[in-house]
Each structure stands twice: as structure tokens, then as C-alpha cells.
């Protein structure tokens, strides 16, 4: 399968509104140039606008309730209507209960929306794999935003997660936390991951296009 670079814009000022559109245009160009799948997860308020100009957009979170009287919820139905292709779920900064994970994945399957389920380690990944998300993205919380890459500093987290998930179901595993450069990305693929999930290094880069191109070229 095509390697994946998933870019979480979080709620950084550097990724809001017009800046989020520019970052997504960069993702579109690099995906076209290299053939690597590049997913962007923009801020919720920018989702519909960005999904109009790029076809590989994920939400950063989706709720477990259907359409209806659920003030403030991000529904799977709403994401589908906005032409959003997938969603992150259970991100370290937006944890949900196991019941919510099960229900959200159920709704996502109905809407044919991909789910990238975030986990903190191999044990959690194996436990949640039974809900059959499209992807599992393992991210040790202590390395998130640290600039110290999981694939370099804690490769055993990646390999043990891949092994543990394999025993339950055939689900591609990504890794994230501290991914900062093309070597970190290359290393993740060498360890057996299908891709990486990253945020700060891309969003806050003085030259995000150069960085993303280097990362994608390293695994193209
Ligand atoms: O979702 C990706 C994220 O949690 C990792 O953040 O800034 O370490 O790339 P960062």
C-alpha cells in the first residue's frame, strides 16, 4: 500500500484559516509530485473549505452521536456532507471512552468514512483493534510535540504495536510523536509502519513545502 504522511494541524495559530488552506495546497502539490498519500487534518472550523480544494482531508475528531439534538457535536454525517474523507479518533489531546470508540467507528463505517484511531502503546492498540478502525496510529504521549521522534527514540513502540495489532486484525499501523525530518519518516517505514502522523514540525516549519517534499521523497 502507498505510504502515508498524515498532517495534524491541531489548533495552532499557524494552521488557522488562510494558513490552513496554504498548508493544504502544499500537501496537494507534494502528493501529486511524489505519489505519497498525504492526509491533512485541518482545524474543525476550516474543514469544509479545505475539503473543497483538496480531496484527502480528515477531521481531528468525530463524535459518537448521530445527527440530531447534540449541540456542539461533530457528526459523521456532517463530515460526509462536507466531503471529508476520514477522521482521527481518540487523539492523545482528545481521548474518548472505549464505548465511544466503538460507536464512532460504527457510524463511520455506515458513512464510509476512514478512521485513524490513535493509541498510546501496543497494549491499547491490540485492545482496540477489535473495533476494526481503518488505521491505528500509535503515539507515545511523552514524545508528542517534543521534537524527539518515536521512530528514532522508541522504535520498540512501533514494532511491538505492529506485532500486537497483527495478532488481532490486518490493520495498517502509523506512528507519530516528535516526527521532525525525512530520516524519522524513513525510519518509521523501515520499522514496518505504513506511515507517520505529525503536527508541529510541519505546521511550524519556516519552509513547510521543503520539509514535506523531503519527507515524501524519502519514502516515495
Ligand atoms: O497527531 C500528531 C501529534 O500528536 C504529534 O505531534 O507535534 O509531535 O508531531 P508532533
Which active-site residues does the annotation give? Answer: 91, 139
Average model confidence (pLDDT) for the chain? 98
Which atom of ligand 1 approaches the CA of 180 most closely?
9
pLDDT band at 21, cuts 50/70/90?
very high
- Rounded Cα gap, residues 181 and 29, in angstroms: 18
Domain of residue 163: give its range.
Answer: 4-219
| 3-class secondary structure per residue, 144-201 | CCCCCCHHHHCHHHHHHHHHHHHCCCCCCEEEECCCCCHHHHHHHHHCCCCEEEECHH
Q: Which of 6, 43, 179 to mutate to test the pocket of ligand 1 (most atoms within 8 A of CB)?
A: 179
| 100-133 pLDDT tens trace | 999 999 999 999 999 999 999 999 999 999 999 9
Q: Which of 14, 43, 88, 176 to mutate to test the pocket of ligand 1 (most atoms within 8 A of CB)?
A: 176
% of the chain beyond a pLDDT of 70: 100
69 Cα–ligand 1 center, Å: 33
**Whose CA is closest to 42, among 25, 26, 55, 24?**
24
The answer, yes or no, to whether any atom of ligand 1 lies below 6 A from the CB of 200, is: yes
Number of domains making up the chain: 1
Long-range contacts of 29-32 (CB under 8 A, 24+ apart): 29/209, 30/209, 30/212, 30/213, 30/216, 31/56, 31/216
68 Cα–ligand 1 center, Å: 32
> Is 0.85 surpassed by the pTM of this model?
yes
166 Cα–ligand 1 center, Å: 24
41 Cα–ligand 1 center, Å: 12
- On the CB side of 39, CA atoms within 13 Å amount to 26
Q: Which of 5, 88, 138, 145 to mutate to test the pocket of ligand 1 (most atoms within 8 A of CB)?
A: 145
**CATH number of the domain that residue 151 is part of:** 3.20.20.70
Q: At what angle do helices 208-219 and 182-190 cross, to 10 degrees?
A: 30
The answer, yes or no, to whether any atom of ligand 1 lies below 6 A from the CB of 178, is: yes
The answer, yes or no, to whether any atom of ligand 1 lies below 6 A from the CB of 144, is: yes
In this prediction, residue 8 carries a pLDDT of: 98
In this prediction, residue 76 carries a pLDDT of: 98
DSSP string for the chain: ---EEEEE-TT-GGGSTHHHHHHHHHHHHHHHHH--EEEEE--GGGHHHHHHH-S-BEES---SS-SSS-TT---HHHHHHTT--EEEES-TTS---HHHHHHHHHHHHHHT-EEEEEESSHHHHHHHGGG--SEEEE--GGGTTSS--HHHH-HHHHHHHHHHHHTT----EEEESS--SHHHHHHHHHTT-SEEEE-HHHHT-SSHHHHHHHHHHHH-
pLDDT band at 92, cuts 50/70/90?
very high
Question: In the predicted model, what is the mean pLDDT of residues 183-210?
Answer: 98
Question: CB 6: neighbour CB atoms within 10 A?
Answer: 24
In this prediction, residue 19 carries a pLDDT of: 98
Which atom of ligand 1 approaches the CA of 118 most closely?
1
Q: Please provide the distance, in angstroms rounded to a whole number, between the alpha carbons at the two ends of the chain.
A: 11
Amino acid at each position: 500500500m502507498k505510504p502515508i504522511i498524515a498532517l495534524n494541524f491541531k489548533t495552532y495559530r499557524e494552521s488557522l484559516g488562510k494558513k490552513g488552506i496554504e498548508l493544504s495546497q502544499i500537501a496537494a502539490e507534494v502528493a501529486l509530485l511524489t505519489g505519497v498519500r498525504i492526509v491533512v487534518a485541518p482545524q474543525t472550523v476550516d474543514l469544509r473549505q479545505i475539503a473543497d480544494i483538496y480531496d484527502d482531508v480528515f477531521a481531528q475528531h468525530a463524535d459518537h452521536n448521530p445527527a440530531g439534538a447534540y449541540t456542539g457535536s461533530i457528526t459523521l454525517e456532517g463530515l460526509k456532507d462536507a466531503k471529508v474523507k476520514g477522521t482521527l479518533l481518540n487523539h492523545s489531546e482528545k481521548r474518548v471512552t472505549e464505548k465511544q470508540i466503538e460507536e464512532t467507528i460504527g457510524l463511520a463505517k455506515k458513512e464510509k468514512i476512514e478512521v485513524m484511531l490513535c493509541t498510546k502503546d501496543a497494549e491499547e492498540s491490540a485492545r482496540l483493534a477489535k473495533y476494526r478502525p481503518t488505521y491505528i496510529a500509535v503515539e507515545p504521549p511523552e514524545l508528542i510535540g517534543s521534537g524527539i521522534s518515536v521512530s528514532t527514540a522508541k522504535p520498540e513502540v512501533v514494532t511491538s504495536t505492529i506485532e500486537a495489532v497483527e495478532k488481532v486484525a490486518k490493520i495498517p499501523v502509523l506512528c507519530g510523536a516528535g516526527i521532525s525530518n525525512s530520516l524519522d519518516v524513513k525510519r518509521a517505514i523501515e520499522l514496518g509502519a505504513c506511515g507517520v502522523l505529525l503536527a508541529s514540525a510541519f505546521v511550524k516549519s519556516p519552509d513547510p513545502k521543503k520539509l514535506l517534499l523531503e519527507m515524501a521523497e524519502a519514502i516515495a
